[in-house]
């Protein structure tokens, strides 16, 4: 079953609502998807609207994958989507990716500034986080005349963020043609995090469970500190087989989660989807 444009945009609208419902995005934050039949463009949360109020195709902006320039007149308000370069950089760098989520989750931000890495704590977030999530430091890429507000609002910043999804061995300076990312989640110091997926539902699942994992990890650290016995927190990343097997579990889990989450936002009067509910395409179908 190939995804058509209406189906893809319907899923994207529902994704905006799910991410708002679980406070992964609020008035800010965004999600994108590659055009299902035209690999030259992508769509993302747009029209100057917060994700909760996105309801139609007119509330989604379309940009060219090559340089993030507007693909139509309706998408020509760049101040409303200044961080489209996050999505452009990743979708251009990694052809297998279909969707990107950027979040300012308050539960995740501390792990980008507190000197404690985000690590997987439980089975539903174990595999896709990996041993730990790297932190992107945008100040490494500033020039003296740049506005240093931590926004990924230029092509070079988006490219740098995309490269941070690779390990140092595979980064762009040593392997320009690396086809797949090494990481699925990257934190952004003082800003939030970005995660990726081969479908909209997978990217949404990873975004939600990244935030929930951060909450669990913070609680575990607090309990350990309160006990005063310095026993440490036991992470899934400390067990190599667990890390691999929970990764397989995560890849199977997201369709079931999506079905529930879509039903929840579907009956909430805040959220409107003029394109109606869309079925999830079968894996690998587009």
The residues annotated as belonging to the active site are 83
The SS3 of residue 67 is: coil
| Distance between CA atoms of residues 193 and 161, nearest Å | 10
Sheet holding 185-188, edge to edge: 60-64, 41-45, 30-34, 99-103, 192-197, 185-188, 135-136
| Distance between CA atoms of residues 85 and 67, nearest Å | 8
| Distance between CA atoms of residues 35 and 284, nearest Å | 15
φ and ψ at 100, to 5 degrees?
-135, 135
36 CB neighbour count, 10 Å cutoff: 20
| Distance between CA atoms of residues 153 and 149, nearest Å | 10
CA atoms within 13 A on the CB side of 249: 13
Closest listed residue to residue 85, CA positions, set 116, 56, 63? 63
Closest listed residue to residue 282, CA positions, set 208, 198, 209? 198
- Per 3-state DSSP, the chain is made up of helix, strand and coil in percentages (nearest 5) of 45, 10, 45
φ and ψ at 122, to 5 degrees?
-150, 170
Q: Which helix (H) or strand (E) holds 242?
A: helix 240-266
Q: Are strands 41-45 and 30-34 parallel, antiparallel or unpaired?
A: antiparallel
φ and ψ at 90, to 5 degrees?
-75, -45
């Amino acid at each position: 079953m190939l995804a058509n444009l209406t189906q893809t945009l319907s899923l994207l609208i529902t994704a905006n609502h799910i991410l708002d419902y679980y406070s992964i995005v609020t008035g800010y934050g965004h999600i994108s998807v590659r055009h299902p039949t035209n690999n030259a463009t992508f769509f993302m949360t747009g029209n100057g609207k917060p994700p909760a109020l996105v309801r139609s195709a007119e509330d989604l902006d379309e940009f060219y994958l090559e340089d993030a320039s507007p693909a139509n007149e309706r998408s020509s308000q760049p101040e409303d989507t200044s961080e489209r370069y996050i999505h452009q950089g990743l979708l251009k760098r990694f052809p297998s990716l279909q969707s990107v989520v950027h979040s300012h989750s308050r539960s995740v931000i501390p792990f980008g500034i507190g000197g404690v890495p985000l690590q997987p704590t439980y089975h539903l977030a174990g595999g896709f986080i990996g041993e730990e999530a790297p932190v992107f430091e945008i100040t490494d890429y500033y020039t003296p005349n740049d506005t240093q507000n931590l926004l990924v609002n230029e092509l070079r910043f988006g490219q740098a963020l995309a490269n941070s999804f690779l390990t140092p061995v595979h980064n762009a300076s040593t392997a320009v043609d690396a086809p797949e990312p090494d990481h699925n989640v990257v934190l952004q110091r003082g800003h939030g995090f970005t995660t990726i997926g081969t479908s909209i539902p997978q990217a949404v699942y990873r975004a939600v469970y990244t935030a929930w994992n951060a909450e669990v990890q913070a609680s575990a650290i607090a309990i350990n500190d309160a006990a005063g016995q310095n026993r440490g927190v036991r992470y899934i990343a400390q067990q190599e087989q667990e890390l691999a097997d929970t990764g397989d579990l995560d890849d199977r889990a997201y369709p079931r989660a999506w079905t529930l989450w879509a039903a929840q936002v579907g009956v909430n009067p805040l959220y409107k989807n003029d394109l109606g509910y869309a079925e999830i395409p079968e894996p690998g179908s587009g």
